[in-house]
């Protein structure tokens, strides 16, 4: 029975029920809000702002995401090198150098 409770689906179900019960029980203790017209408006230091939608720029996100992807792959390659295997060590060094070159190209500055 103890091992059944530790299986991921059963543990997830139990935790979901516990969190749901806590949410339901804390609702009775929480303060009730008063409806007002400005409650859902964005706060801008007392200024009335127009509904202007910004377009986020994801150009920097790609570089950072690619950097972390490359670094995770390099770490996984280095961490899984078999001990005492010079061929695998040489390939890992070659892979690390290629990844370093790729990161250098990724973060180069056009002058």
**CA–CA gap between residue 17 and residue 21 (Å, rounded):** 6
* More confident site: 110 or 89: 89
Tens digits of per-residue pLDDT, 2-56?
Answer: 788 889 999 999 999 999 999 999 998 888 888 887 777 777 776 777 766 676 7
* More confident site: 102 or 19: 19
- Residue 72: what pLDDT? 92
Burial category of 103 from C-beta neighbours within 10 Å (exposed 0-12, middle 13-18, buried 19 and up)? middle
Q: What is the domain partition of the chain in residue ranges?
A: 69-111
Residue whose pair of structure tokens reads 């005492």 in the numeric block: 84
- Six-digit token string for 41: 């408006």
């Amino acid at each position: 029975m103890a091992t059944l409770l530790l299986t991921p689906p059963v543990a997830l179900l139990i935790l979901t029920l516990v969190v749901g019960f806590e949410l339901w029980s804390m609702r009775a203790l929480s303060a009730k809000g008063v409806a007002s017209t400005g409650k859902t408006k964005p706060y801008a230091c007392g200024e009335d702002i127009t509904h202007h939608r910004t377009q986020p720029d994801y150009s920097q996100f790609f570089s950072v995401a690619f950097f972390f992807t490359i670094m995770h792959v390099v770490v996984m390659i280095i961490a899984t090198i078999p001990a005492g295997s010079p061929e695998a060590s040489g390939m890992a060094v070659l892979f690390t150098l290629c990844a370093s070159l790729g990161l250098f190209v990724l973060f180069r500055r056009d002058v």
